[in-house]
Amino acid sequence: MKNQLHRIDLEMFEGPLDLLLFLIKRDELNIYDIPIAQITKDFLEYVDLAKELKLHSAGDFVLMAATLMKIKARMLLPIEANGDDEIEDPRTELMNMLLEYKRYKEATSTFSEMERFERPHYYHVPATWSPQQEDNTAILEDVKLYDIMLTFQYLIKNYEEPATHSVAVEEVTLSEQVGFLNGLLQAKAKLSFADLLEKFESRLVVVVTFLAILEMLRNRQVKVKQSKLFDDLHISRGSTFGN
């Protein structure tokens, strides 16, 4: 029964810092002078639960528990006075983290408020009709890195490695694949990534080729176009191609 209540509680927290802020508020503790022994004890109770419940973020809670115990240990050690150096409170770093997190956490209520306010308004959005697109690959000129990544993930999901029993180690390097793509682009102005996929025998080669494309994109040796998200990637010569 008690666990049931705790479970609900724990899932309310966004992480260990959020939980600490809650404990500080609940017990009216002073954030600059946190009673480490007390808060560590309370915190550990929650962490045990987090582990038990296999919460997604349990690792983050455990890490914080370790930090708290380290601080607690350091506070118990006798302080060695060495010269005029000011002795730093072992809690300072934690306090700064809590304060910094609190600033953003408080800002989220503003965002929430703005979201609530804007929610009922709908933008006038024209139908995505494009007049006389002679080349439909030109629609999305400005392909973002994230789009390319998503597309790659999507394409590779459908890629099946041919069943094979050989165990030979494949050697494929990035520069080899850059060379390979360069060769293809010299012969053909435009390549389709989906067509390329069919040529390859293993996932490793596919991945390395994809990295080669990203590398060439960065050097402006190639341009990548896509007509819509998850669509095939069209690779063509870039401004520095052949240099």
Partner 1 sequence: MIYIYQGVALLEINELKQIVEALLIATPEPLTEARFNTCLGDSDSKIPLKEIIGELASDYEKSGRAFFIKEVAGGYQIVTNAEYESYIKGLFSKSGKLRLSQAALETLAIVSYRQPVTRNDIESIRGVSSDSSLRTLLDRKLLEIRGREDGPGRALLYRTSTEFLQYFGLNSVKDLPRLKEVEDILAEDDNELV
Asked if 10 interacts with partner 1 (CB under 8 A), we say: no
Q: How far is the CB of 133 from partner 1 (least distance, A)?
A: 15
Q: Check: CB of residue 146 under 8 Å from CB of residue 212.
A: no
Options 48, 57, 69, 200; binder of partner 1; rule CB under 8 A: 57
* Burial group, residue 33, by CB count within 10 angstroms (0-12, 13-18, 19+): exposed
* 170 to 209: interface string for partner 1, x by CB under 8 A: ----------------------------------------
Q: How far is the CB of 199 from partner 1 (least distance, A)?
A: 29
Of 241, 227, 207, 239, the C-alpha closest to 147 is: 227
SS3 192: strand
Asked if 121 interacts with partner 1 (CB under 8 A), we say: yes
Strands 222-225 and 190-192: unpaired
* Smaller CB separation from partner 1, 138 or 145: 145
Asked if 135 interacts with partner 1 (CB under 8 A), we say: no
Asked if 217 interacts with partner 1 (CB under 8 A), we say: no
Options 26, 119, 157, 165; binder of partner 1; rule CB under 8 A: 119
Kindly state the DSSP code that residue 235 receives in the 8-state scheme: E
- C-alpha–C-alpha distance, residues 160 and 57, integer Å: 34
Q: How far is CA 153 from CA 62, 100, 114, 133, in A?
A: 32, 36, 34, 28
* Burial group, residue 22, by CB count within 10 angstroms (0-12, 13-18, 19+): middle
Asked if 106 interacts with partner 1 (CB under 8 A), we say: yes
Stretch near partner 1 under the rule CB under 8 A, chosen from 43-51, 105-113, 152-160, 166-174: 105-113
- C-alpha–C-alpha distance, residues 216 and 180, integer Å: 12
Asked if 140 interacts with partner 1 (CB under 8 A), we say: no
Q: How far is the CB of 30 from partner 1 (least distance, A)?
A: 7
Mention every residue, 6+ apart, whose C-beta is less than 8 A from residue 68. 36, 39, 40, 43, 44, 94
Asked if 115 interacts with partner 1 (CB under 8 A), we say: yes
Stretch near partner 1 under the rule CB under 8 A, chosen from 8-16, 85-93, 151-159, 183-191: 8-16
Options 1, 8, 77, 125; binder of partner 1; rule CB under 8 A: 125
Give first-to-last CA distance, the chain, whole Å.
71
Options 78, 83, 120, 131; binder of partner 1; rule CB under 8 A: 120
Contact positions with partner 1 (CB under 8 A) in 11-30: 14-18, 28, 30
Binding site for partner 1 (CB under 8 A): 14-18, 28, 30-32, 57, 59-60, 64, 97, 99-108, 110-112, 114-115, 117-126, 128, 144-146
